[in-house]
Amino acid sequence: MIKVMASGVFDILHLGHIHYLKESKSFGDYLVVIIASDYYAQKHGKDLVFNERERAQMVSELRVVDEAVVGHSNDNIFQTVAEQKPDIITLGYDQKFDDSYIENECRKMGLNTKVKRVSPYKGIINSSSKIRKKILETM
């Protein structure tokens, strides 16, 4: 079984998220999605609508997702990687992580995890911030 791990905030679900998760699942057999904790998301400038428990519940209801887990409330993203032991970590086309750095850190933990970038979603609105902006413009 090939375990794929995807991650994100997933505050306002949209078709870009669905695209990311469907393409992530296509790389393996089992998709675990790591939901950014409230602490981590807010520390990185996210103004959340839904709390971590609600976001995890929404994502877990998606047919393509096998498991949704809230990440740890610290800055060590590799703690969750060590626990999940994925074969593949997928990143969104716009996620600001260094692919080779992630693979090297995984190797240090004894994991042979590969990193794959998913393609961008081609729809007009492909981010929560664009949705938030559009809603605010109409008010």
pLDDT digit string, tens, across residues 30-58: 999 999 999 989 988 888 999 999 999 99
CA distances from 118 to 26, 76, 127, 137 (A): 10, 23, 15, 30
CA distances from 1 to 11, 35, 86 (A): 29, 22, 10
For the cut 70, the answer to whether the pLDDT of residue 126 exceeds it is no
Kindly state the average pLDDT of the residues 66-84.
92
pLDDT value, residue 137: 79
pLDDT value, residue 63: 97
Share above pLDDT 90 across residues of the chain, in percent, rounded to a whole number: 68
| CATH class label, 3-137 | alpha beta
Report yes or no: 24 and 30 within 8 Å, Cβ to Cβ. Answer: no
Q: The whole model's pTM is what?
A: 0.90
